[in-house]
């Protein structure tokens, strides 16, 4: 009975962890340029604060990490995480 019980398939998700796909820097740079409508990732530094923060929120929603955004844009991680 023990063996039979453990061979049963179940649709219940217990402790199942969904892995997030890491976005490579090349893909992330394209996303930044497209979402923020800039020609270079570092152009985000020259945006006004409200526009920049809105852009950063969208990037985080798309799955980019704060460290990756900081690395590609030149902004500090503090600025990115506070938005």
Q: CB within 8 A of 21, min separation 6: which ones? A: 63
* Amino acid 7: pLDDT: 85
Q: What DSSP designation does 54 have?
A: H
Integer Rg of the chain from CA: 20
pTM of the predicted protein model: 0.73
Task: Identify whether 4 is part of a domain.
Answer: no
Could you give the CA distance from residue 4 to residue 72 in angstroms, rounded to a whole number? Answer: 53
Mean local confidence (pLDDT), 54-66: 94
Mean local confidence (pLDDT), 65-73: 95
| Residues spanned by the domain of 72 | 23-82
Task: Identify whether 45 is part of a domain.
Answer: yes
Could you give the CA distance from residue 83 to residue 75 in angstroms, rounded to a whole number? Answer: 12
Could you give the CA distance from residue 54 to residue 35 in angstroms, rounded to a whole number? Answer: 10
Mean local confidence (pLDDT), 46-57: 95
pLDDT value at 82 more than 70: yes
Per the structure, the count of domains in the chain is 1
Mean local confidence (pLDDT), 14-18: 67
């Amino acid at each position: 009975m023990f063996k039979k019980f453990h061979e049963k398939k179940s649709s219940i998700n217990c402790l199942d962890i969904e892995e997030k796909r890491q976005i490579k820097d090349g893909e992330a740079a394209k996303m930044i340029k497209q979402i923020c409508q800039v020609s270079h990732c570092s152009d985000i530094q020259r945006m006004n604060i409200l526009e920049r923060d809105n852009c950063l929120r969208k990037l985080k929603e798309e799955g980019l990490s704060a460290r990756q955004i900081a690395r590609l844009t030149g902004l500090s991680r503090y600025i990115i995480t506070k938005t």
